[in-house]
A and B are shown apart, each in its own frame.
Chain A
Amino acid sequence: MSCTDTNGSLLLDRYAEVTGREVIHHLQQLAAPLKGAKVVHVNSTREGGGVAEILQKLIPLKRALGIDASWEVIQGSPMFYECTKGFHNGLQGMGSPIPKQLLAEYEKVNAENAEGLRSTLEEADFVVIHDPQPAPLLSHCPERRGRWLWRCHIDASHPYRPVWKYLRQWVIPYDASIFSIPQFAQPLPHPQYIVAPSIDPLSEKNRDLPLDELQGVRERFKLDPDLPMMLQVSRYDRFKDPLGVVQACQLAGKLTPLQLVLAGGGASDDPEGEAVLEEVRQAAAGDSRIQVLLLPADAHHTINALQRTADIVLQKSIREGFGLTVAEAMWKGKPVIGGDTGGIRLQVFDHYTGFLVRTPEGAALRIRYLLHRRELLKEMGRRAQRFVGENFLITRHLREYLTMLLGLQSGTQGRMELGL
């Protein structure tokens, strides 16, 4: 047995401790026909944001199952990221026309990246392109022999049409696309798979922490042990509505004493973050019960501790592809008050695992409601944890990827019976 095999086996053993051996055995059987297949994932950032987090975990797991998985990251210029931020906003319905010179830069950056990646991508059995940033790579790989998939992590349910019209030309030639929930799927001439993202229970952000480490975080951020703590963890992005969270907590705080921590970092492909952060700081200025934290991309341990310390977690997004922070909080047994949008609806079941709200007032109401019903708060947290354990761990995500790859490999779209 090689060193890689041993490491892979150890990795699978660690997951089996959380999910049960049967889950891992199931994955091994599903992966057997794909053994040795070259699967290349491509995105635009190695750190920061949910996509990078998922890939950091998904690649080693695929390798542990015998799949030759790898991860490539394209490099871009500031103009490129300005353009792709425009795509991101546009797909989420808040778009404006993107200047031609930015589109030209987008195409140029992809052409440049294709020079270095072409042989890897053309040799792969499966190529998974994440989000719009690297979408044109396919057009630069005419000798490709594998199946190409475009994975959209964004809430594209109501896109700004000119942006989608432009991007669609790059997506149409793919063999299939993947969306997080059915509402995000767009008319395309190829199969559209529905795969929800997931969290990794063993990651630094989600593993169990001893109580003294939680105490350490309380002291570090000078959290008041007598006040219930509200928390939102997300990038400083208008779609995450951090200003709405500040407003909600200020409203609720008039009647129920509480403290709020907003914790976020920046992603290297998000040029708008600083402006939003400044607006949030101004809104919270003078309110000692609100802390606005700018954390580095690798502050996983701190985020883990903050989520475990919180009484209630908010994710009051206006648009949300999925909302990994929702699943993370639920995995830690916290009820979540989430925006009634996108993938949050898939995780938060109103009155069962938390509440779905549409306004800062709605969030304030539910904060007050839960703080006055502590037993219900705990019960919701327990339900939330069980729900995530059964549905949103990375092992479920991997199972769906493997099923999809098997379907694409066989070329069938109906029932497949392997070796029966």
Chain B
Amino acid sequence: MSESTVDPVEAIPFAVRDCALISLATGLKAQNLREFCDILQRVPLESIEHHLWGRLLQPRFDEPEYNNDFASWAYHGLHDKTLAERLSMVVPTDFADQEALRQELIEVLEERLDQCEMVPWAKKDQQFHFLRSQIVVFDSGLRFSRPVDLIPYLAHLSTGSVYYHFIDARNRTTDRCDDFSAWLAGCGPAYQPLRERLCGVDPYFSSLQNLRQIVTALFQSFFEEAAQ
């Protein structure tokens, strides 16, 4: 592998960062699909991000039927399975920015409103409460020059680090990928198979603990195969 890897001295070390998140109420809530659509047009973008991604750092059950809060409410609150399925397949990384993502979500909602004879309503105690989150990012101080050095540490990453490097990264990296993949791209072509495996992980249906296990296993198996 050595001939196709970048000299560790030349590669930029992987800086392990960590983060913590707290939810805040926006005071906006929807009782029916029309209200939901109207509020989505004016809600802060951080709120959309919270309901698509930030929920991963919040108390949640990790066997969800739907992979974002909007889809989950469409099903459990409005009992509209069609809408829930469509909202589930709006993938945030498909859009250039969050404003474009908002417009796509509104498109899906407007289309559904056009199809409905009556506006779907939720019960009194099943309103959708729009939240936003405050995120604090900090440096763990850890640096890794070689991908192999990460292996013993990965299993002990905090869930905040997993969120920052595997989820939050998709809003920061050029390729809309996780930080590990972005870093490996600069470490030489030998790591391309590992990059591809990491990019193939669907982060929507896993808890952060589970994602940590998956990433650790991918690194371990890659280097075990390389050693053989």
Contacts and interface: CB of A to CB of B under 8 A. Distances in A.
A52 to B, nearest CB: 22
Interface residues of A, number: 46
Interface residues of B, number: 33
A150 B109 CA distance: 37
A193 B61 CA distance: 21
A182 B131 contact: yes
B136 interface: yes
A420 B137 contact: yes
B149 interface: no
B17 A22 contact: no
A14 B207 CA distance: 25
A347 to B, nearest CB: 8
- Which 3 A-B residue pairs are closest in the complex by CB-CB distance? A182-B129, A391-B59, A185-B25
Contacts of B63: 349, 352
B99 interface: no
B119 interface: no
B61 to A, nearest CB: 5
A387 B61 contact: yes
B158 interface: yes
Contacts of B3: none
B139 A420 contact: yes
B135 A415 contact: yes
A353 B135 contact: no
Nearest to B17: A420
Given A22-B158, A30-B136, A416-B134, A183 B24 contact: no
Given A30-B136, A183-B129, 4 more contacts: A29-B140, A157-B125, A193-B25, A391-B59
A187 B27 contact: yes
Interface in B123-174: 125, 127, 129, 131, 134-140, 156-158, 160-161
Contacts of B140: 29
Nearest to B61: A349
A415 B137 contact: yes
Contacts of A353: 61
B210 to A, nearest CB: 10
B134 A413 contact: yes
Given A403-B136, A415-B135, A416-B137, A26 B61 contact: no
